[in-house]
Structure 1
Amino acid sequence: MFIDYYETLEISPNANSETIERIFRHFAMRYHPDNQNTGDEARFSEIVEAHNTLRDPVKRAQYDIQYKDHLNLRRELTEEAGNTKGIERDVVIQAKVLSLLYVKRRQDVNNPGIGDTELERLSGCPREHLEFHLWYLKAKGWIARIENGMFAITVDGIDRANSEHRRDPTTRLLDHTS
């Protein structure tokens, strides 16, 4: 797990060596285990680790590469979280996986499973993205791995697929025109 040493020391990534030393001394006195009032051994260890990395120019340069990668990952995460189209796409993929497993179960109740590779192909979702959807659907209890290792829809999954089908606006329009 990445640890943000700049955050640990509450300094800017642009801080110079004098600032790093000054802030380190301040926090070291505050959190040193010998300090009766504010001593915190775990926090002190974090501060020492951050200081030892950021005070050494070579270690800091190596750390800054990781830090920039971490910032890029956070930025990408924030952008994706703000993009509602991604969530809408996920809902469609999950519904598609449920539908595929629903139809497979309906076609052959005694052999209801679809393997990982086949689900990937049928859903049009790459394995690395499909893993999230399979995890979610399994956690909800809507799908499960069966004895042969394939995925199959559960009774709760069938109920979910049926309830989603009833909420589909095109189905309601057809129902109202009859």
Structure 2
Amino acid sequence: MTSASVNYYDLLQIHPKAEPETIQRVYKIFAARYHPDNRETGDAERFRLYREAYEVLSDPAAREQYDLKLELTQPDALPVFQSKEFTDGIDAEAKIRIGILCLLYAKRRANPDYSALSMLDLEHLMAFPREHLQFAMWYLKAKKFVTQDDRSSFIVTAEGVDYLETQLPGNDLLYRIFRASESGVMIYPKALLNSKNR
């Protein structure tokens, strides 16, 4: 894992608008866990990454520059997720879950070597704030349709693939979401893909 391949907000598992106090509190937890002196969970490389993330995000000028750079590498929201179908009605939550699965499925097919999407990636692709995605993500993880990698990014599981493929035949909305997700992952900015694959 190199610093070029890490989203500092995802690494620290914090919101991009997190307050300095939150950044410091979360950093202290991870620093204690991965400090090389910790005989049980120490990891010098991970500790270095967390320290680097903290140094950038705790410095207002460095954080502003980092945020600008991060913004340039984020994908545009897919139009299918901005329709009323995803915001209105009792089944909007179920559609958000299906949307997440479709994006992760498409990402897995497009790039098996890096098949994960971070929460920030999903926020940008779906145009939903993190708070709207957290319930869906809890459900998908509880059903074992989605898992997390060592960077806390999300990956579709074999169970998730099976579920999605059994739902696809004859479901026009799902098919539209699936196609939009596939094209959305394909047009992912090359700079972002290249940095994440280093």
Q: Structure 1 length as normaliser, TM-score? A: 0.46
Q: Which has the larger radius of gyration?
A: 1
Q: Which has the higher helix share?
A: 1
Q: Which has the higher contact order (CA 8 A, sep 6+)?
A: 2
